[in-house]
Amino acid sequence: MPLLFSLLFNDLSAWWLIPCFILGFGLAFVLYQKSALEDKKLKWILFSLRGILLSLLAFLLLSPLIKLTQKQLEKPLIIIAQDASASIKSATGSEFDSVAYHHDLENLAKSIGENSEVKILNFGDEVKEGFDFKQTEKQTDFSILLHYIQEQYVDRNIGALILSSDGIINRGANPINQISQIKYPIYSIALGDTIPKRDLILAQVNYNNLVYLGNDHQLTIEVQANKANGTKSQLVIKTNDGQTQAQYFTVNGDEWRQKFTINLEARKKGIQKIEVQVVPVKDEFSVQNNRQTIFVNVLDGREKVLILADAPHPDISALRTAIENNKNYEVKIAYADDLPANIQDYGLIIFHSLPSVQHPITSFLSQTRQKSRWFIVGTNTNTSALSQNQSLLNINAPGNATQDYLSQLNKDFYAFSLNDDTKERLQNLAPLVAPFGNYSLKSAGIVLFNQKVGNVVTPAPLLSFGDDGGAKIAVLTGEGIWRWRLEDFAKNDNHDAVDELISKSVQYLNAKDDKRKFRVYPIKDRFAENEHIILNAELYNDAYELNNEPDVSIDIQSKSGKKYSYLFSRVGQSYQLDAGFLPSDEYSFAAKAVLGKNSYAAKGDFLIEELNAELMHTTANHQLLYNMAVQSGGKMVMPNQISLLKDIIPKNEKVKTISYEEHSYENIINLKWIFIVLMLLLSLEWFLRKRNGAI
Angle of helix 314-324 versus helix 481-492 axis, rounded to 10: 60
Is residue 475 a contact partner of residue 463, using CB atoms and an 8 Å limit? yes
What pLDDT, on the 0 to 100 scale, is given for residue 554? 97
What pLDDT, on the 0 to 100 scale, is given for residue 14? 63
Residues 22 and 55: their CA atoms lie apart, in Å, by 8
3 state SS for 405-469:
EEEEECCCCCCCCCCHHHHHHHCCCCCEEEECCEEEECCCCEEEEEEEECCEEEEEEEEEEEEEC
Q: Does pTM top 0.85 for this prediction?
A: no
Mean pLDDT of the region 304-311: 94
Residues 350 and 313: their CA atoms lie apart, in Å, by 13
Q: For residue 15, what is the DSSP state?
A: G
As a whole number, the mean pLDDT across the chain is 88
Is residue 115 a contact partner of residue 639, using CB atoms and an 8 Å limit? no
What pLDDT, on the 0 to 100 scale, is given for residue 5? 44
Report which of 182, 170, 313, 321 is spatially closest to residue 631, judged by C-alpha positions. 182
What pLDDT, on the 0 to 100 scale, is given for residue 542? 84
What pLDDT, on the 0 to 100 scale, is given for residue 13? 53
Q: Assign 92 a pLDDT band (cuts: 50, 70, 90).
A: low
Residues 311 and 686: their CA atoms lie apart, in Å, by 112
Cα(first)–Cα(last) distance of the chain, in Å? 46
Q: Assign 2 a pLDDT band (cuts: 50, 70, 90).
A: very low
Mean pLDDT of the region 528-550: 90
What pLDDT, on the 0 to 100 scale, is given for residue 137? 86
Q: Please tell me the least confidently modeled range out of 24-38, 118-132, 160-174, 593-607.
A: 24-38
Mean pLDDT of the region 43-64: 83
Mean pLDDT of the region 569-598: 94
Mean pLDDT of the region 488-495: 90
Q: Is the pLDDT at 229 greater than 50, yes or no?
A: yes
More confident residue, 289 or 669: 289
Domains of the chain: 3-71+664-691 (no CATH), 76-195+619-651 (3.40.50.410), 199-299 (2.60.40.10), 303-510 (3.40.50.880), 518-609 (2.60.40.1930)
Q: Assign 263 a pLDDT band (cuts: 50, 70, 90).
A: very high
Mean pLDDT of the region 90-106: 81
Q: Assign 365 a pLDDT band (cuts: 50, 70, 90).
A: very high
What pLDDT, on the 0 to 100 scale, is given for residue 245? 96
**Residues of 521-558 as b/e, b for ≥16 C-beta within 10 angstroms?**
bbeeeebbbbbebebebbbbeeeeeebbeeebebebbb
What pLDDT, on the 0 to 100 scale, is given for residue 8? 54
Give percent of the chain with pLDDT exceeding 70: 96
User: Could you read off the pLDDT of 264-283 as tens digits, one per residue?
Assistant: 999 988 889 999 999 999 98
What pLDDT, on the 0 to 100 scale, is given for residue 1? 38
Q: Is the pLDDT at 93 greater than 70, yes or no?
A: no
